[in-house]
Structure 1
């Protein structure tokens, strides 16, 4: 499977936007922390741990992941709900 995903970077942190269905497909829903955020069907995986968990699992499943960076001064991501399984 091939994925094109977006990293959103603000001056203090970054998040990788992934479909919630990917977490289920990779069997990692319970490994994602509350430091990531969710809005609708998209989970914004924080850069320090959760994004790496996703990328490692995707690689292990044989997926290819390409990312595009979006650099912003402010993002609403910090105001989204914390991730919960």
Structure 2
């Protein structure tokens, strides 16, 4: 069980695409920094992120949403405390 954290916008890099390609069924994706843009804007991976959201495996960091003035449309909004809990719950982490 891996926690994947993506920090770049889907319009800047292919990090989200690459991450989604390698995620296993029990993994979780946390969008941080500029990657939170993916929670609102339409992009190539929107459908895959929506599926992860339906499965309860997509998280979006609230502080980064707030810092960018973005409303979350998919995934579960989480705090820094929730972020720490996710790190503890997962066996390892991969930062993209």
TM-score for the superposition, normalised by structure 2: 0.29
Q: Tell me: higher relative CO, structure 1 or 2? Use CA pairs within 8 A at least 6 residues apart.
A: 1
TM-score, normalised to structure 1, is: 0.32
| Higher share in helix | 2
- Higher fraction of strand: 1
